[in-house]
């Protein structure tokens, strides 16, 4: 059991400074179980807490774990330079509670992107030592051939890597489309591997991380959802 004062609860959820949250509470903007609470110092049990702010319902979450179906032309950065940042697709309070992308997808790459404010989770999911498989669908400039698949499975040499990088699995989906599974997560890896193998990637979409599959989350492009514990467990293993 854990209790926090109501102003600290709102602050922890990203609704503003503690002073601002106290003013919202005093103004009668917060209610719990249909009862307006105006005492900012009221000690509230956080476990299972559901509260209403500006007539919108919120569930208290100590940490948030989010899956986003990233559209093209969004940057995985808190300080984007040429395109909007992915945080602009989420409610603004997530930026205040320091939600960050887990790793990066290029601005023109679409698909499954994880986001969280849990540093340990971000580090664990980003660590190459975990060998978490990530599945991509790549559209190629020239036709995908069995020879191209064989090259990617055998490993291709990239100019700044000490050893060849190989796909875990690779198969042809259509004349110009490959399904590729990688574990390393190197910079621009799919695109650079295809280029090193003599082809060119014209579109790239990440469709799964571990056993978590984008098509099972029911997210249209630009949509997001919280991940529950069962879904987070899928991230550490391949289904």
Helix (H, G, I), strand (E, B) or coil at 237: coil
Q: How many C-beta neighbours within 10 Å does residue 215 have?
A: 10
Active site residue: 55, 106, 108, 228, which one?
106
Q: How many C-beta neighbours within 10 Å does residue 209 have?
A: 24
Is residue 55 flagged as an active site residue?
no
Alpha-carbon distance of 210 to 82, in angstroms, equals 31
Alpha-carbon distance of 165 to 174, in angstroms, equals 23
Classify each residue of 139-176 as buried b or exposed e, where b means 16 or more C-beta atoms within 10 Å of its C-beta.
bbeeebbeebbebbeebbebeebeeebbbeebebeeeb
* Rounded alpha-carbon distances, angstroms, from residue 186 to 80, 99, 182, 189, 198: 21, 22, 9, 5, 19
Q: Which residues are catalytically annotated?
A: 106
């Amino acid at each position: 059991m854990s209790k926090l004062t109501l102003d600290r609860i709102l602050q922890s959820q990203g609704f503003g400074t503690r002073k601002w949250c106290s003013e919202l509470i005093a103004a009668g903007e917060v209610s719990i179980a249909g009862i307006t609470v105006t005492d900012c110092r009221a000690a509230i049990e956080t476990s299972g807490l559901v509260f209403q702010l500006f007539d919108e319902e919120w569930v208290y979450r100590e940490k948030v774990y989010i899956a986003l179906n990233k559209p093209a032309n969004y940057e995985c950065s808190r300080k984007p330079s040429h395109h909007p940042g992915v945080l602009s697709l989420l409610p603004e309070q997530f930026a205040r509670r320091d939600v960050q992308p887990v790793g990066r997808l290029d601005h023109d790459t679409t698909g499954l992107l994880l986001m969280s404010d849990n540093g340990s989770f971000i580090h664990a999911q980003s660590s190459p030592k975990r060998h978490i498989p990530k599945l991509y669908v790549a559209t190629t400039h020239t036709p995908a051939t069995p020879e191209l698949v064989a090259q990617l499975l055998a490993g291709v040499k990239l100019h700044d890597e000490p050893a060849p990088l190989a796909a875990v699995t690779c198969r042809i989906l259509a004349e110009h489309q490959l399904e590729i599974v990688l574990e390393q997560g190197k910079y621009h890896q799919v695109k650079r591997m295809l280029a090193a193998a003599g082809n060119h990637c014209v579109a790239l979409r990440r469709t799964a991380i571990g056993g978590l599959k984008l098509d099972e989350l029911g997210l249209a492009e630009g949509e997001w959802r919280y991940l529950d514990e069962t879904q987070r467990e899928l991230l550490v293993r391949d289904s």
